[in-house]
A and B are shown apart, each in its own frame.
Chain A
Amino acid sequence: MSLAHARAVAPDLHATDGTPDADRLALTRLTEWFLWLSPIVAPDGEDGVWVDTAGCAHLHGGEAPMMAEIRRRIQSLGYTCRLALADTPGAASALARFARVPCTIISPSTQRQALAALPVQALRLAPPETDALLRLGFRTVGALYDTPRAPLARRLGGTVLARLDQVLGLLPEPVQPIRPIEAIRERRSFVEPIATAGALATAIAVLVRAICETLEGRGEGARLVDLLCERVDGTVQAIRIGTASPVADPVHLSRLLDERIPIIEPGFGIEAMTLVVTRAEVRGAAVPTGELVGQDDVPQGRSNISCLLDRLQNRLGPGRVSILEPAASHLPEFSQTRCPASGEKGTISADLACSWPRPVRLLNPPEPVDVTIAGPEEPPTSFRWRDVHSVIRAADGPERLHEEWWRSADPYGVVRDYWIVEDNAGERYWIFCRAPLAEVPPAPPDWFLHGLF
């Protein structure tokens, strides 16, 4: 149906432009993702992936568990999928798209029978040939099995029969595997399987040294590194580390990898290890790894704490290690943002720093307080916060901040008047009252505590 027709049926239909190039790129990336399953992967048309799983089924404990694992992993990526396992690429492609159930596994002997019920669109023919077949009355693939071949070839051309033979396995159809981007990888296999942490650390050190030489030669640094350990029973254990800035220092990388050794379960032993640099970037000017130590054992000059930051980030997860950066807002709670820390020293520009007195800590969110006020424009005479009553003896203010009406319409006309108040014990509080300006009759404003000085 056309877009106009669809819009007539559903008036609030949302239509966006298609992006075929982006889709193709995404499909390529998804195809590369399947390298965990098998080294031979290829895209199939515009919306599918072929994976040659010959010899892979036993690693997952059988064909059905393998398909279940694939489905689970694809769903964890966020895609819905239809799977099919068959003897020939053509049959698998046809079943994945046109079978009744989302996941089909057919054995070689039942192939002919399983394909018989599929429509002719499953043969991956061009639209004119599909139309011709339909006009001639062939609705299913099975109808083509026993038709004499010569008249069919004369009417429709050779491709129909070629596709049919490929689907049935009579003609070979090789799958061209995609070649992944040149990734730096080093592999070492061991004479005897290793299982101890010390042996793993030694192997890691050897691999890291080799990888770092290649990285240095290319002038690149690693950002994402995967260590794949192939166990004796055939499974692959992987650990992955990330760094905040490109790194080619073997000490740094091996320290990050050594921290993850406890995650690896060696089982009966690890017989080979591969270190792959999944993401590499061009490195900036080399930072000297030694430290200048001054007279009193005080580190001077640029001290390299990027290894510490990477270790913390790998240990705690993303977003936990950050630097406060100023943001363009005069409201105190929005005047700063968190940026990931990268180990290089930054300096906050003094222009955006506020020149009004501000507390070192802000309560988030501001806590409401009960106040007793003297007058409408006067600071309160006492207030109650967290069940403690404080009598105010001095107050400085007000500092008026308008709420940001240019971001959303709700706070239009709402102002905050900040007061620095001191109580009888000398404690200083930063309280504010928040009220819309042009309210008639004026309602009593809400008072909040935003921080302590």
Chain B
Amino acid sequence: MKRHDPDTILLLREQIARIERHHGASGAGRRLATGLDDLDDHLKGGLLRGALHEFCGVRQDRALCARPAHFAASILARHPGQIVWLSGTPLDLHADGLHAAGLSPGRVICVEAASSGEVPALCEDILREKGLLALVAELDTPLTLTTSRRLQLAAETGRVTGFLLHRPAHRQGDRPLPPSACHTRWRIGSEPSILPFSPTALTPPPGPPRWRVELLRQRAGRPASWLFEVPEHDTPYSVSLASPLANRSVASPSSRHLHVAGAGAALP
């Protein structure tokens, strides 16, 4: 092509997009919306379906991975379908906690493997199965690069989204996760909440919990970090993560939905 004909380039772009869609790459509706606008904008719609996403916790939560589990459950609550929750150790999920996160426990099929060594093989088997919404797997050792590539291919075949929660055994938690073929890697931490004014109490009641959600790496995307506030809810059956806060905002106790601009910029 001698001149850059915009129509031709547009046609070629569409062709490439069609080829990529055939291989399960990005496209509208092939994403799991997280419900948080800032997150979805950065992720171009949400978490990619048919791909693996890793989560880990911070400090005391590293071994237990409770906040990442809550995060994953609240994302999965928005989309229909059955979820398989796989663990190599006896499962410690609490049905009321899942319900509080928005996920109906009847949708979760709990599978306990005999040992944590069997978990990657079972993951591959389950990820190939069409008809599931997602697989949440609890790993206590990080996956090798080849294993994570195999799981990624299996997820693409079955169109099942994989959520990998890393729960390293105690004392191993300080090492960073090795590189893997997962699509995104998240770290869900906490921040001190803003305490409401109560002069009389020795220990004041806590304010709404604050989470620092960090996107550590994203394939074909940029890492970012956000600060969210989970609203205190009166009705326990409808919980959603609130929109982000700026670092130094003042939350008025009554407002539920905070839309503050300039939250957690994307890291260069």
Q: State the CA gap A82–B131 with chains docked (Å).
A: 54
Provided the pairs A308-B126, A424-B192, A428-B206 are in contact, do residues A388 and B108 lie with their beta carbons within 8 angstroms? no
Expressed in whole angstroms, the Cα–Cα distance for A309 and B109 within the complex equals 9
Known contacts A297-B159, A393-B203; A360/B66 CB under 8 A: yes
Residues of A within 8 A of B84 (CB): 308
Q: Is A159 on the interface with B (CB-CB < 8 A)?
A: no
Known: A336-B94, A361-B93. A427 touches B203 (CB 8 A): no
Chain B residues with CB under 8 Å of A332's CB are: 94, 96
Q: Which residues of B contact A304 (CB under 8 A)?
A: 131
Closest residue of A by beta carbon distance from B159: A297
Give the interface centre of B59, B105, B132 by most chain A CB atoms within 10 Å: B105
Report which residue of A336, A359, A451 has the largest number of chain B beta carbons within 10 angstroms of its beta carbon. Answer: A359
- The residues of B that contact A176 with a CB separation of less than 8 Å are none
A69 on the B face (CB < 8 A):
no
> Is there an interface contact between B193 and A422, defined as CB atoms closer than 8 Å?
yes
Residue in B113, B126, B210 whose CB lies within 8 Å of A426: B210
Q: Does A305 reach chain B (CB closer than 8 Å)?
A: yes
Known: A298-B29, A393-B192, A453-B66. A336 touches B95 (CB 8 A): yes
B206 contacts across to A, CB distance below 8 A: 393-396, 420-422, 428
A360 B190 Cβ-Cβ under 8 A: no
Judge whether B204 is part of the interface by a CB distance below 8 angstroms.
yes
Chain A residues touching B, range = 35 or more
Per-position contact with A for B223-251: 1 when CB-CB < 8 Å, else 0? 00000000000001100000000000000
Please state if B209 and A291 are interface contacts (CB–CB under 8 Å): no
Determine which of B98, B126, B193 lies in contact with A360 in the assembled complex, contact meaning CB atoms within 8 Å.
Answer: B98
- Interface pair B30/A296, CB less than 8 Å apart: yes
The distance from the CB of A245 to the nearest CB of chain B, in whole angstroms, is 14
> Which of B64, B80, B131 has the most C-beta atoms of chain A within 10 angstroms of its own C-beta?
B131
Complex contacts, B108 vs chain A, CB 8 Å:
323-324
Contact status B94-A360, CB under 8 Å: yes
Please state if B82 and A361 are interface contacts (CB–CB under 8 Å).
no
Q: Which of A18-26, A42-50, A343-351 lies at the interface?
A: A343-351
Q: Give the interface centre of A364, A375, A424 by most chain B CB atoms within 10 Å.
A: A364
Cβ of B92: which chain A residues have Cβ within 8 Å of it?
A: 361-364
**Contact indicator B110/A338 (Cβ below 8 Å):** yes
Report which of B64, B129, B236 forms a contact with A452, defined as CB distance below 8 A: B64
Q: What's the nearest-Cβ distance from chain B to residue A194, in Å?
A: 27
Residues in chain B near residue A336, CB distance under 8 A: 94-96, 105
Is the pair B95, A320 in contact by a Cβ cutoff of 8 Å?
A: no
Most chain B CB within 10 A, of A305, A361, A392, A452, is at: A361
User: Are B190 and A362 within 8 A (Cβ)?
Assistant: no
Residues of chain B in range 43-82 having any CB-CB distance to chain A below 8 Å: 49, 59-61, 64-67, 69-70, 73, 80-82
* A354 contacts partner chain B, Cβ-Cβ < 8 Å: yes
* Contact (Cβ within 8 A) A358 B94: yes
Residues of A within 8 A of B49 (CB): 298
Say whether, besides A394-B205, A422-B206, A425-B192, A386 and B132 are in contact (CB < 8 Å).
no
Would you call B111 an interface residue if the criterion is a C-beta within 8 Å of the partner chain's C-beta atoms?
Answer: yes
Contact between chains at A422 and B60 (CB < 8 Å): no
Whole-angstrom CA separation of A360 from B61 in the bound complex: 12
Interfacial residues, chain A to chain B (CB-CB below 8 A): 291, 295-300, 303-305, 308-309, 311-312, 316-317, 320-326, 332, 335-336, 338, 341, 345-348, 350, 353-364, 374-375, 378-379, 381, 385-386, 388, 390, 392-396, 420-422, 424-428, 451-453
Sample of 10 more A-B contacts, CB < 8 Å, known A361-B92, A361-B97, A428-B209: A299-B130, A320-B112, A332-B96, A341-B109, A348-B99, A363-B92, A424-B192, A426-B190, A426-B209, A428-B206
18 example contacts (A-B, Cβ-Cβ < 8 A) are as follows A296-B27, A299-B131, A305-B82, A312-B111, A320-B112, A322-B110, A323-B105, A323-B108, A336-B96, A356-B236, A359-B94, A360-B100, A381-B203, A394-B203, A426-B189, A426-B192, A428-B206, A453-B66
7 closest Cβ pairs, A-B complex: A296-B29, A303-B131, A394-B206, A426-B190, A360-B97, A358-B96, A452-B66
